[in-house]
Amino acid sequence: AGKTTLLKRILTEFHGRRVAVIENEFGPESIDNDLLVQDSDEEIIELSNGCVCCTVRGDLMRTLSDLRAKREAGALNFERVILETTGMANPGPVCQ
């Protein structure tokens, strides 16, 4: 559907913004992660325990809290977080 293509473009083009990426993979292997990392210096955080809209919402909250703590401690430098959901995700519950 173009989600990974858009994300790859955001990560590889110079726009002056630092971005943290959380990728939600439904299956056991992350093909998208390999495609994104090869052309980018960014580190991708992967949630692979199921669909973020229903089974890994707690993992998502913990990951966001961990990112915030690392940023406040100076361990990570980012201004934005992008969440790439699996194609099967319903975005409504994620936005809550």
What CATH number did the domain enclosing 77 receive? 3.40.50.300
Q: Is 96 domain-assigned?
A: no
Q: Is 81 domain-assigned?
A: yes
Residues 67-82 have a mean pLDDT of 91
Q: How many domains does the chain have?
A: 1
- The CA distance from 45 to 75, in Å, is 15
* Residue of 92 and 19 predicted with greater confidence: 19
* pLDDT reading at 40 higher than 70: no
71 contact partners, CB below 8 Å, separation of at least 6? 77, 78
Give the residue numbers spanning the domain of 41: 3-8+17-90
Q: Residue 23: which of 13, 9, 36 has the closest Cα? A: 36
Say what the pLDDT of residue 94 is: 73
* Residue of 73 and 61 predicted with greater confidence: 73
- The CA distance from 53 to 36, in Å, is 22
Q: What is the pTM of this model?
A: 0.69
- The CA distance from 9 to 81, in Å, is 15
Q: Is 95 domain-assigned?
A: no
